[in-house]
Structure 1
């Protein structure tokens, strides 16, 4: 199956619609990542209208002229299936299992064997028929039950703990680092350079913001209320670094993909904001370590 095929649209909409928390008019994302991305996907597919708390079902769906990115839709489905315990990843044969993240009853029967088979550097997994159907429609599972070749780079953006993946040493990742480092669009380079520049004025403004918050709490609850200690210069700098790293991540979440590298603003308009993307974070670290080697905390 080619990634340009659109046979996946109906199965994807059906799976998303049926597996997110519902309201009388649509879906509630409960501020959980998989549900937030799922709601965003339904909006991008013309099935819903975005709200602060989720999405409202359109009375008449309006399919967009250009569909959202196939790889982003794949991540939305994988995340939701895993969130709903309808997809679980299994350790590679001979590997040590990580700490089990799923709680099982003491007398529960052992899990069934994997029904998605390893291939292309990806490990085995276990899924129900509903999930198998939509993953097959997306071209992630072949007729033989193995992960397909095109599934490999999609799952680089998930990196299940059970598989102990090390994508940063792969020659394709290293080549992508060079391309990303050498081809940063001018508008993004300006944003990055501003974010890594923490000035005295930035620190003083952060201290004032923090102190104003303390005064607001005292005014609301009284002078004796126990609140945070006054902000120091050192703490303000560390806080700013943390928040700036998050903002740098968002640049990569929105404007970078492994296949194309940096997206144009037009391409980015059809991307989902996959904001827990370990591959994008790894690329941010690699690029920032080369771009600003004297500021190592932005490559953490």
Structure 2
């Protein structure tokens, strides 16, 4: 995958003239670097940012390192119809089109948190109930999950690099929680907010998080809890142990997911519960701006 584009390549990618790209660069709307020979080059992440901010259409996705399905999905339905459209694509096995739709929504300006809260999250929740009335439900869910993971991972690579002095965020889902998508969504949201992110994934014991805290000295730790705890006390004890350690370091512990309500106890001091990825995005941007 190319990491830099020439003005000519970016012009082809979005269907405008090379002179327009150069003019936007000269007007400081588009950040460029110069080669040893003085030629302009545009970082891929900067090209993506510019396309989104300028509301340009992508006509040659490959030049931006994107699949052709991004171009095919350019004519997205109205926002209210996006979850149903994504559901239909995933259900029917049109996986490349589903991947393209997620990436297209982002390229057309949707924030990651909005994608997760309003499109991907509701769709995957609905797909996760198919097994209750269809024998092939687990097959459909696992196939859809892999597709969404691919799309979010690609999207993460499209984000601007965090600042050199950006704080680190580390997190994952607790032991007993096998769900990969919620903690991946949190990782991408935090990356977009400007954090350097370490996602430990599903089934992460508190001891692993503690090692991560020691190694990285993060500015934020997150926990995803998507599984209803049959015995909430041991889970809560783990959270309390981690929260105490983080509170001594003045580091917030952010926790979210449908399993939180099963704890049936107030969260310990130092914990901040998030009801959505949009809340996480707002909270994390507030920390970055301090």
TM-score, normalization by structure 2: 0.25
TM-score, normalization by structure 1: 0.25
Which structure's CA Rg is the greater one? 1
Whose RCO is larger (CA < 8 A, sep 6+)? 1
Structure in which a larger fraction of residues adopt helix: 2
